[in-house]
A and B are shown apart, each in its own frame.
Chain A
Amino acid sequence: MDLQTITMREALNQAMVEEMERDPNVFLIGEEVGAYNGAYKVSLGMLDRFGPLRVVDTPISENGFTGLAVGAAMTGLRPIVEFMSLNFSLVAMDQVVSNAAKTYYMSGGQFPIPLVMRGPGGPAARVAAQHSNSLESLYAYFPGLKVVMPSTPADAKGLLKSAIRDNGPVVFIENEMLYGISGPVPKGEFTLPLGVAEVKKSGADVTIVAHSRMSPLVLGALAEFAQAGIDPEIVDPRTIKPLDIETLAASVRKTHRAVIVEEGHRFAGVGAEIADRIYTACFDDLDAPIVRVTHSENPLPYARNLEAASLPNVEQVIRACKAVLYRG
């Protein structure tokens, strides 16, 4: 396969550009996506390429333009809504939940909503409490929504193209801290199916489930794991909903131990659901209770030390692995 090395930001841009070239009904709408070229430059050059009808700069009206996108999706278009930050999607929560997620069902299947709602989520760097929410468990709660969270440029491109082609609403959560990371991405047409996890690193001792920024965090600590005498298998769900429990369970059946890492809070976090699924699927295979590593139960503070003390880190993950390995 012919590969290119590009950033996550470029990969997302390629996915949107290619899909808009392919399908004239696909358009991009959001704050600063056009003339400003995107708050995080994900839509760089797209206004020049497609014009203002298809790359639509909006006023600061998240609930309004998300609802507008739902109406456009009901009438034959395939909108991509960019939230400058997924945190601002909370302002649009009613349209996401009451309309995007439920209209297909409430209408008895008459109105599918082919709509992608994307943007950066999760904590960034010292942006404090209101700009640091991990909203995946919130959106994954609602039947009717798919939730996708890529951690590499290749996953970002392949999954975003599939999300745009999906006939239902997809919440596509990127990560600001990952926009600049580079990686190999196949050249030309390339898609990845939604709902398929990937074993990012094979290992024997313990299954570490990590999505979004937690995946490269753990993968970047292989030396520390080796030093601790741990050979982890690292699995990235990539799609939070529908969750690929088969791939996760297959890994746990091999390692007999699981650690789940997430940047969101512990209470009702995605890890709680994943743990439940693993317990249900392979209770007899587990040699230790599952351990979760999460954001602590506080709004994320600004102070550097408090922020660091709130978010998962490699040390905590290694400690969790030792716990499930009874090397306490």
Chain B
Amino acid sequence: MPTPAAKSTQKPAASAGKVMPTLSALTPRQRRALEHIGQDKLVGMYRTMVLIRSFEQRCEQMYQQRKIGGFLHLYMGQEALGVGFLAAIRPDDYVVTSYRDHGLALARGIPAQACMAELFGKVTGVSRGKGGSMHFFSKEKNLLGGHGIVGGQIPVGTGAAFTAKYKGTDQVSLIFLGDGAVAQGTFHESLNMASLWHLPAIYIIENNQYGMGTAVSRAVAVRDMTLKAPGYAMEGITADGMNILDCYAVMEDALTQRRTAPSPLLIEAKTYRYRGHSISDPATYRKKEEVEHYHSVDPIGHLKRLLAETGWLDEDGAKEIESAVRKEVLDAVAFAEQSPEPDLSERDLHVLP
């Protein structure tokens, strides 16, 4: 059931004005997250958000230059969500997501070079150039994909949670899904099994409010998706997906009990994607005012102001990060350019182990 605290953050953007009060507006749990994270880590998280933004902007450009082909689903606008949740888990935990996977891959610590090389279809890519934008995998980082069928990753991540239970470890599995995937059968089947078997599965609905061009209100019958959770005898909680501290706090709270006494959890994090569903979608189904509103509560801008207010990162520091990130992304592009395509022998490699 949603906690009272969760209810208070259900409308992340509505209360925010043009100039958002930051430090003074933090909820108790956000303030606690701020203290727990501390300066160094929070500045690092800020850097990761800037990296994702910069990486995705560069991807758009590279797509226009035809360096990247196929489908391309960008994460801009959703950075607080991915970075906030992943900053609260351990490297040995599992993560799985949909085709909108670049941001989570970068937040998981996969080098920008390997991500960009994958998009360029190069053998140095995170999936050896065989997966592309939608299929980032990393055994080393326990990233179980990058899945191209809406909702297809939900049972897979549930299976990783099953393994944790089977082996008696205290790992958890984070299963990211879009609001569109809530309407898939896999969502229902997975949450039911996870609850029946007390699996350490944490389902995170990245509610960016549109499944492709269909507004969530036209696709999902309930407005508050945490209402799904009681149907599976499961806890549900809302996080402010535009606020990195809120995402971190929700995950931190979730893990304190679940490391020792596994049970599944459903999190709905409301967020917004700045671009269309994919690179080929100009998103004409959205009103200009709506898009502008979300830009005004931009998660990176929000954290930047917060860091300035706390005195943890001044304008010079922020500029340094921006320029370092810019260099990192340009390096990634150069690396991808210079990397070889897969040898033709790779065509028949990895069909069967």
Taking Cβ atoms with an 8 Å cutoff, the residues of A that contact B are 27, 53, 56, 58-59, 61, 63-77, 94-95, 98-99, 103-112, 114, 143-144, 146, 167-168
A-contact 0/1 string along B131-167, CB 8 Å cutoff: 1000101110000111111001011111111111111
The majority secondary structure among interface residues of chain B is mixed
Contacts of A63 in B (CB 8 A): 155, 185-186, 189
Task: Please report the C-alpha to C-alpha distance between residue A216 and residue B128 in the assembled complex, in whole angstroms.
Answer: 46
Task: Please report the C-alpha to C-alpha distance between residue A167 and residue B126 in the assembled complex, in whole angstroms.
Answer: 22
Question: Is A64's CB under 8 angstroms from B189's CB?
Answer: yes
For residue A97, which residue of chain B has the nearest CB?
B149
Question: Is B127's CB under 8 angstroms from A108's CB?
Answer: yes
Task: Please report the C-alpha to C-alpha distance between residue A27 and residue B163 in the assembled complex, in whole angstroms.
Answer: 11
Question: Is B159's CB under 8 angstroms from A108's CB?
Answer: no
For residue A70, which residue of chain B has the nearest CB?
B156
- Can you list 28 A-B contacts (CB < 8 A)? A59-B193, A61-B192, A64-B185, A64-B186, A67-B152, A68-B162, A68-B190, A70-B155, A70-B156, A71-B96, A71-B161, A71-B162, A72-B162, A72-B166, A75-B94, A75-B163, A76-B163, A94-B149, A98-B147, A105-B351, A106-B146, A107-B131, A107-B137, A108-B127, A108-B130, A110-B138, A146-B352, A168-B352
Question: Is A105's CB under 8 angstroms from B350's CB?
Answer: yes
Task: Please report the C-alpha to C-alpha distance between residue A67 and residue B157 in the assembled complex, in whole angstroms.
Answer: 8
Q: Does B25 reach chain A (CB closer than 8 Å)?
A: no
For residue B142, which residue of chain A has the nearest CB?
A75
Q: Does B196 reach chain A (CB closer than 8 Å)?
A: yes
In B234-288, which residues have CB < 8 Å from any A CB?
none
Question: Is B138's CB under 8 angstroms from A71's CB?
Answer: no
* A110 interface neighbour in B139, B148, B155, B161, Cβ under 8 Å: B139
Contacts of A59 in B (CB 8 A): 189, 192-193, 196
Q: Does B14 reach chain A (CB closer than 8 Å)?
A: no
Q: Does B129 reach chain A (CB closer than 8 Å)?
A: yes
* A107 interface neighbour in B127, B148, B173, B190, Cβ under 8 Å: B127
Q: Does B19 reach chain A (CB closer than 8 Å)?
A: no
Contacts of A75 in B (CB 8 A): 94, 144, 159-160, 163-164
Question: Is B155's CB under 8 angstroms from A71's CB?
Answer: yes
For residue A98, which residue of chain B has the nearest CB?
B149
